[in-house]
Structure 1
Amino acid sequence: MGIIIHGGNARSSAMNAMVEAKQGNFEVAESLIEEASNELNKAHRIQTDLIQAESRGEKTEVSLLMVHAQDHFMNAMTVRDLAIEIIELTKKTINL
């Protein structure tokens, strides 16, 4: 559940960062991107713990919940990365 929670928080922060950038609030947008990155780091730590446990021979059941968590995490990373690019493009557009 931690991967889902932190992934969801990261995605929300990244989406809000784009909203702020569209309004010209780039400092707020950058802060929200930092929040998104921090949440992704938390999710990644949980994922890494699961991978390390499996490498030690501790089996993790691959359930629908686990698949959903991984999907949520990857989606959040993509949204954060795209938000960074969109914010930079927005800055350039405003400065034209």
Structure 2
Amino acid sequence: MDEQENMEAVMGLIMYGGNAKSDAMEAIAAAKKGDFETADQKLKDADESLNQAHQSQTSMLTEEAQGKHMDINLLTVHSQDHLMTAIAFKDLATEIIDLYRRLEDK
């Protein structure tokens, strides 16, 4: 993977991770208002962004596994951190929305 492709993959992780986290936050806000249809759609949007991020990550991992080592810099570490945070945030959003549903049902 050349430097340009590496940078595109890293930026993909940051961009799609950020989108997923934002969508998860919007899903929580919608559920808080009782708008579960929007909450569900926002969670789906977050999943789509996470899938895109995983594609970027997989390309990086594939290159590494093939012996094409890349330089690890702060931006690369940040991109992985961004993705991991987005995944955790989306998982927590799913649980929070479930709690709002239960409260709505009572």
Normalised by the shorter chain, which TM-score bucket? over 0.9
Task: Provide the rounded CA distance (Å) in 2 between the counterparts of 1:26 and 1:79.
Answer: 18
Task: Provide the rounded CA distance (Å) in 1 between the counterparts of 2:66 and 2:77.
Answer: 21
Question: Counterpart in 2 of 1:66?
Answer: 76
- Give the 3-state SS of the residue equivalent to 1:24 in structure 2: coil
Question: Counterpart in 2 of 1:84?
Answer: 94
1:89 CA displacement: 0.6
Task: Provide the rounded CA distance (Å) in 1 between the counterparts of 2:32 and 2:13.
Answer: 29
Question: Counterpart in 1 of 2:6?
Answer: none
Unpaired runs of at least 5, structure 1: none
Task: Provide the rounded CA distance (Å) in 1 between the counterparts of 2:70 and 2:27.
Answer: 35
- TM-score normalised by length of structure 2: 0.89
Unpaired runs of at least 5, structure 2: 1-10
1:94 CA displacement: 1.2
- TM-score normalised by length of structure 1: 0.99
Residues 41-60 of structure 1 correspond to what in structure 2 (within 5 A)? 41-60=51-70
Residues 10-25 of structure 1 correspond to what in structure 2 (within 5 A)? 10-25=20-35
Ranges of 4+ aligned residues in structure 1 off by more than 6 Å: none
Task: Provide the rounded CA distance (Å) in 1 between the counterparts of 2:65 and 2:88.
Answer: 27
How many correspondences in the alignment? Answer: 96
